[in-house]
Amino acid sequence: MTSCSYEYNVTVKPQAAHHERDSYTPPAAMQTAPANAIDSKLLRDRCPSGSVAVIGDSITVGFNGRNNYPDMLEDKLRPACPGIKVQHEDGNPNTLQRPRGNAPLDKYAFGGKSTPRMRRDFDTVLVGGHSDVIIMGGVNDLAGGRTAEDIKKDLADMYARAKQRGLRVIALTTTPCGWSEKTYAQQDALNKWIMSRPEGIDVAVDVFAALNDPRNPRFMKPEAKSFDRIHPGIAGLHMIADAIVSSAYSQLPTYSKSPTTAGSSEQATPGSFFYLR
């Protein structure tokens, strides 16, 4: 049984990244009029009041370049919100991408990040001047044998601390990974809890449903996954970004620039990026 419990090195060839972008057809709701066709004051009133922080693991880090869902989200929102900034790093080149001893770690997302580490690093997010925070966590915890109840405590702590600082909290479910029945039961309990919008969550986004294969439940749909069949590919990352737009920013007349040509999504090749744990 394939699981999400190992770390993988991947990158994307320039040609492959282009080909994967061509493979994705955005939902009809995303193919709307460009933002400049709408009253600009109305758009400004509906855009986030500050930057958007994104907390996560290797699924949030994505591939090289702008092939990650935070950057894709920024690109999709920019026509409506020209000054939008979506961050999965603090922007400081002197901070570390991965933990090293007791050195400061201000990266919001990195491969193998579990919810206890997210919780420990969360103060760096709270002082970042953001208006919205997107939190995706739990896959690495499930891979390590933690229960839904364990993970809920960490997530609930971050939700509460974000709300105390006045941030809008956008919570994402975990992604399909083809878990064993035992682990899937924990994942299902966790995802249902997130989608119930417990205290502290302003918007819940069902990423699992966006990527799940209806013909093979609990596994990622073929067009969404990468070559390792665990992480989302370029098309799958676009699906995550679109799910966030639909759930959290649907009031904006967003214009998606995602191409619509059919093709394969499994173009990632081994290289230099850390994934999961």
Token duo for residue 87: 């961050």
Would you say residue 111 has pLDDT above 70? yes
Half-sphere exposure of 254 (CA within 13 A, CB side): 30
Q: Give CA–CA dist 126/7, Å, rounded.
A: 28
| Between residues 66 and 271, the one the model is more confident about | 66
pLDDT of residue 119: 93
| Fold adopted by 8-91+104-275 | Rossmann fold (3.40.50)
Q: Choose between 22 and 231: higher pLDDT.
A: 231
- pLDDT greater at residue 247 or residue 263: 247
Residue bearing the bigger pLDDT, 106 or 23: 106
CA distance linking residue 256 with residue 238, whole number of Å = 10
Alpha-carbon torsion, ordered 53, 15, 6, 181, to 10 deg = 90
Over residues 95-119, mean pLDDT: 74
What pLDDT, in 10s, does the model give residues 28-80?
Answer: 444 333 333 334 444 445 689 899 999 999 999 998 889 999 999 999 999 98
User: What is the helix (H) or strand (E) element at residue 131, kind and residue range?
Assistant: strand 130-136
What Cα–Cα distance (Å) separates residue 101 from each residue in 3, 97, 211?
28, 13, 36
> Cβ contacts of residue 67 below 8 Å, gap of 6+?
12, 17, 20, 234, 237
pLDDT value at residue 89: 77
Q: Residue 139 has what pLDDT?
A: 95
Please count the residues of the chain: 277
Segment among 46-55, 87-96, 262-271 with least mean pLDDT: 262-271
- Mean pLDDT, residues 226-230: 78
CA-derived radius of gyration, the chain: 18
pLDDT on residue 43: 42
Specify the range with the lowest mean pLDDT, choosing from 6-20, 60-74, 80-94. 6-20
Mean of the pLDDT values across residues 216-222? 91
Identify the band that residue 98 occupies on the pLDDT scale cut at 50, 70 and 90: low
Strand partners, 168: 132
pTM as predicted: 0.78
* Helix 148-164 vs helix 181-195: crossing angle, to nearest 10: 20
**Is residue 209 predicted with pLDDT exceeding 60?**
yes
